[in-house]
Amino acid sequence: MIEKKFLYRYLVYILIISFFFGILGYFKIQYQFYLWEFFVDLKILTLVGVVILFKKRKEIIFASNELLLLRFDWKKNVAIFFAPILVYSVTIVLGLLFKQISVNRLDNASTLVLATVFDIPALYVFSATSVLFEEIIFRGILLSSFQRSNSAILTTLISSIFWTLFIGSELLGFEDLTLLTISIILLFFLSIGLFLTMLVNRYHSIWPGYSFRIGIITLTPITLTSQLVESDSFFASSSSIFIAEGVIVSVLLIGLSFVFSTKKSVLTENAA
């Protein structure tokens, strides 16, 4: 937990780090690389450094259970890993109906699927230095800190918005993105942030959210056209409404977030 009097200073650090690395991306200065197979993002590591600094100053105090790493249910994690396919399936059906999505007949379809399947275990392990760190910082430390002194709605919005700004700063490094496209992708990030927050509130664990993000990383490139990842996919679209980061996917994720927010948490159910 971040002490309340230090919380807003911590948010300022997040904004400064996001802006700084966004500028580096704009000027094509590399700050992401692979160390062996581990993905290393200096932006995330800088934020980890801030957390360590705050803890040394005793401005952050937390126990291991507050990091939300202790509760793991493999069945739920497997199900949530495949949740992006459900969301994309609805998007694809709508896209086909409105003739905004077409079917790609890939020559290497079997190889592509097999490669994706074999990549899944590795991604779970090697994303620990990036995705897992993010989840601990934003859905563990930051979220729990806000929940102690703010309403559930405000907590959800603030933690999701700051995560969106943090991850969205990478868009400055992409070429040929219009203001409209950037806005749509930021909405997509925000919808993911809301959904991940609801998963934490529902299961009191960051593992389901981690599984969901690994599912997006793994399944998006082969399923539906992505604005952020270049890859062959079984379904293609040139519409910003029907792509993997498009409006339809965002609306569906926001809808799922609302559904999760109306359910009792696992802790409440166990207590009953």
- 185-227 pLDDT per residue, tens: 999 999 999 999 999 989 889 999 999 999 999 999 999 999 9
Rounded distance between C-alpha atoms, residue 197 and residue 171, angstroms: 22
Residue-wise pLDDT for 67-120, tens only, equals: 667 778 899 999 999 999 999 999 999 999 999 999 998 888 888 898 898 889
pLDDT classification of 268: cutoffs 50, 70, 90? very low
pLDDT at 12 over 70: yes
Q: Provide the pLDDT confidence category of residue 3 given band limits of 50, 70 and 90.
A: confident
Tokens standing for 172? Answer: 């400055």
Instruction: List the domain range (segments joined by +) for residue 103.
Output: 4-271
Q: Check residues 196 and 177 and name the one with the higher pLDDT.
A: 196
What is the token pair recorded at 4?
């309340």
- Alpha-helical runs (H) found in 66-108: 74-81, 83-97
pLDDT of residue 77: 94
Measure Cα distances from 110 to 117, 229, 236 in Å.
Answer: 11, 20, 18
Burial of 219: CB neighbours in 10 Å, binned 0-12, 13-18, 19+: buried
What's the pLDDT score for residue 84?
96
Residue 271: pLDDT band (50, 70, 90) is very low
Q: For a pLDDT cut of 70, what percent of the chain falls above it? A: 93
Rounded CA-CA distance 135/210 in Å is 7
Q: What's the structural domain count of the chain?
A: 1
pLDDT tens string 139-155? 988 888 888 777 888 88
**CB 14, CB 164: distance < 8 Å:** no
pLDDT value at 267 more than 50 = no
Distance CA 37, CA 201 (A): 32
Mean pLDDT of the chain: 89
pTM (predicted TM-score)? 0.93
pLDDT at 90: 97
| Closest CA relative to residue 84, chosen from 224, 238, 197 | 224
Nearest to 189 by CA among 229, 218, 223, 161: 161
Could you give the percent of the chain with pLDDT greater than 90? Answer: 61
The token duo for 143 is 């979220």
* CA distance linking residue 22 with residue 29, whole number of Å: 10
**Amino acid symbol at 82:** F
| Of 172 and 175, the one with more pLDDT | 172
pLDDT tens digits for 226-262? Answer: 999 888 899 999 999 999 999 999 999 999 998 877 7
Radius of gyration of the chain (CA): 19
pLDDT band at 54 (very low <50, low <70, confident <90, very high): confident
